Amino acid sequence: MKRVLVACGNGIATSTVVASKIRDYAEEQGVSLSTNQCKLMEVPGKADDYDLIVTTGQFDGSIGTPIVRALSLLTGIGQEETLEEIVGYLK
């Protein structure tokens, strides 16, 4: 099972919406994953425990875990491409 960390400004509302969309799409694609949420500033301390980091805001830190910016999962513009990119990292 793959682990995805979803990070937003406060680690609550926005990341909840994004994590839900990721889980739903991954399930449709046959990818088993778990998601956790956090604040953007918590990413550096948690990144090593995850296969992928998904952010809704600007993250400029240097970490070894792949990062996908997913503002499109909130706006709907380019959402399908972002979901495909996320699942691509997890397959």
4, 5, 8, 31: which is the annotated catalytic residue?
8
CB 19 within 8 A of CB 75: no
Q: Please name the residue that has the structure tokens 């990070």.
A: 7
Q: Any bridge partners for residue 52, and if so which?
A: 4
| Residue 38 falls in the annotated catalytic set | no
- CB atoms < 10 A from the CB of 86, how many? 24
Q: Which residues are catalytic?
A: 8
